[in-house]
Amino acid sequence: MSEFEFTGKTVEDAIEDGLKQLNLTKEQAEITIIDEPVKGLIRTKKAKVKIIKKISDGERAIEFIDELIEKMNFHATTELKDEGEKIIINLITTSSSSIIGYRGEVLDAFQTLAGAIANIGRDEYRRVVVDCENYRGKREETLKNLAQRLAEKAVEKGRKVSLEPMNPYERRIIHSALAESADVKTVSEGKEPNRFIAIIPNNLRPYEKKERYGNNNRDYKGDRNNRSSGGGFNRDRNERSSGDYNKDRNDRGGYNKTGFNKDRNEGSFSKPKKSTTFGTYLGNSFKD
């Protein structure tokens, strides 16, 4: 920040001369009086003032970004494009992918920090936009198209559609894109940094629980009662275990109460018999 000193017969003369040379208005300058004029018989002392050009909110943000870029070893220059209702800063670089980052994460970080610096000492927050190669415009168009497609999907299915988490700037784009829609409404859900937008259609259908046990009309609860009351699976197991089950196991060369069956004790295994029933093919069958 450059500062300059000016002298004059009076303080007003020194200030007027300084502002004229710097091409500034009083609103654009910080003025400090160094010496008051002194008139005497022996010596006369002129007035002296110090004038510093006030730095704007955008310029203060630019200075910060320049220092940050230098520390990060990025090769980029800054450009203050607009300082009206909102401050727009453009970054010019030959390596835009490094400056922008994945889905604009690095650019968003620059923007957040620049906004904090630009609003130092302000009562009302002033929005700051940091852009690179018109990434903001392209991203905005992409989000608007996405909002329309998902809104159509929500209406078609009659179900709520949730988007991935987004920062406040991108959520505002989605809200604005569907603000005039007569078919859907948008709400923000969740907590930062995972806050997201849900698109809710006006024809939202109530949730219908799918049939878990098939499309038949039997009452599963009643079926369970029948099964537990001696029928169905339990009954089959009981009937089988009353004699047939153990007999089958013994016939197949399994265990019995005294240990291995006769074939196993003799050191040989029974050759499995061919099945005389049909069933699902699960692998290679035994060959003769």
List pLDDT tens digits, range 109-133: 999 999 999 999 888 899 999 999 9
- pTM to 2 decimal places: 0.56
Domain-wise residue ranges, the chain:
3-53, 57-133, 136-201
Find the mean pLDDT for residues 87-110.
91
Instruction: Looking at the structure, give the CATH architecture of the domain made up of residues 136-201.
Output: 2-Layer Sandwich (3.30)
CATH 3.30.70.2740 fits 57-133, yes or no: no
* pLDDT tens figures, 60-70: 999 999 999 99
Sequence-ordered list of residues with C-beta below 8 angstroms from that of 237, at least 6 positions apart, any chain: none
Lowest-pLDDT range of 4-18, 89-103, 169-183: 4-18
